[in-house]
Structure 1
Amino acid sequence: MYLIGQLAKLCDVSSDTLRFYEKNGLLRPAGRSESGYRLYSEDDKSRVKFILRAKAIGLSLDEIRELLDIRLEACQHSCAEVKAITQAKLDEVDRKMAELKRIRTALKKLNDACCGHADDDASHCSILEALADDGEAH
């Protein structure tokens, strides 16, 4: 059994991180010592490592919680349920990447249109004018 500080060190996280996971229903101590300290097991250590790997690939706390719940009763769930979670995250990432590409294209167009001379003041800056233009004729 591990105390919270020991588990934190083994998993390379802070004790506050473990308390956060506990508060959010991702982790429960295996028990308490006679003096009331949280005690964690090898299973808890594996659970924290699972959480950290899931976070590293961008899964949210809710998605991680769902996967942990499935993992606890794996025989009552299908692999397709798990795949649906990762597919939904993949779709979300694809949408975000498309949005970032659109933003990058717009920024590059604005940036390329500006002469950006250091000696010029910004009173006629094409970037500021483009952002201020509401599309109406003046």
Structure 2
Amino acid sequence: MSTLLTIGEAARHSGLSAKMIRHYEQSGLLGKAPRTDAGYRLYNSQQLQQLGFIARARKLGFSLAEIQSLLQLWQDPTRESRSVKQLAEQHLADIDAKISELQQMRETLAALADSCAGDSKPHCSILQQLAP
């Protein structure tokens, strides 16, 4: 794609909102787009590739800082794959920790729900167990 796209077209092409594209530009993840005389941003094919990269990384739950690191590695032809793998494995460990926390929360909440009669009476053991 050799044509330049406006932010709305870039948003449709990348699956991101125009607001998020502006945010990524302001945060430095995406280079500043040149503007027309009327002030419209214009995105080239390289920036569209970066937006696609960012969108896919966000769907995997990478933070903006992690995405910045991944982008730098992606654009560095002398990178070592071990650096990329380390980032991915650390993120995977973070996800595993969150899953464990969510499982514990689920078990606790299920036990609380089982302890409540759920009838027309005002007594509820859930509220009693949550109260200090």
TM-score over 0.5 (shorter chain): yes
In structure 1, distance between residues paired with 2:129 and 2:8: 54
User: Which structure 2 residues correspond to residues 114-129 of structure 1 after superposition, within 5 A?
Assistant: 114-117=116-119, 119-121=120-122, 124-129=123-128
Over 6 Å off, 4+ runs: none
Q: 1:38 to 1:109 in 2, by over 3 A?
A: same
C-alpha RMSD of the superposition: 1.7
**Structure 1: which amino acid aligns with 2:99?**
M
Structure 1, unaligned runs of 5 or more: none
Task: Show CA shifts across 1:8-43 (max 9, x none).
Answer: 222233322211110011111453334443221111
Gaps of 5+ in 2: none
Shift of 1:114: 1.6
Greater strand proportion: 1
1:107–1:36 distance in 2 versus 1, CA, 3 Å? closer
Q: Which amino acid aligns with 2:92?
A: L
Q: What CA distance in whole angstroms lies between the structure 1 residues aligned with 2:14 and 2:112?
A: 45
**Which of 70, 78, 81 matches 2:80?**
78
> Superposition pairs for residues 100-115 of structure 1, below 5 Å?
100-115=102-117
CA offset at residue 98 of structure 1? 0.8
What is the identity percentage for the equivalent residue pairs of Structure 1 and Structure 2? 37
Deviations 1:44-98 (A, max 9, x none): 11110010010111111111111001112131x2111001111111101111111
Whether the 8 Å contact between 2:16 and 2:55 is mirrored in structure 1 is no
- Kept in 2, the 8 Å contact 1:29–1:40? The answer is no
- Pairing 1:39–2:42 present: yes
Counterpart-to-counterpart distance in 2, 1:130 and 1:30: 54
Please give the residue correspondences for 1:1-138 in structure 2 after superposition, counting only pairs within 5 Å: 1-29=4-32, 31-75=34-78, 77-117=79-119, 119-121=120-122, 124-132=123-131
SS state of the match for residue 37, structure 1?
A: coil
Assess if the C-alpha contact under 8 Å between 2:15 and 2:55 holds in 1. no
Q: What is the TM-score normalised by the length of structure 2?
A: 0.87
SS of the residue 1:40 aligns to = coil
TM-score by length of 1: 0.83
Cα 1:16–1:128, aligned 2, differ >3 Å: closer, same or farther?
A: closer
Quickly say closer, same or farther: Cα 1:3–1:128, change in 2 above 3 A. Answer: closer
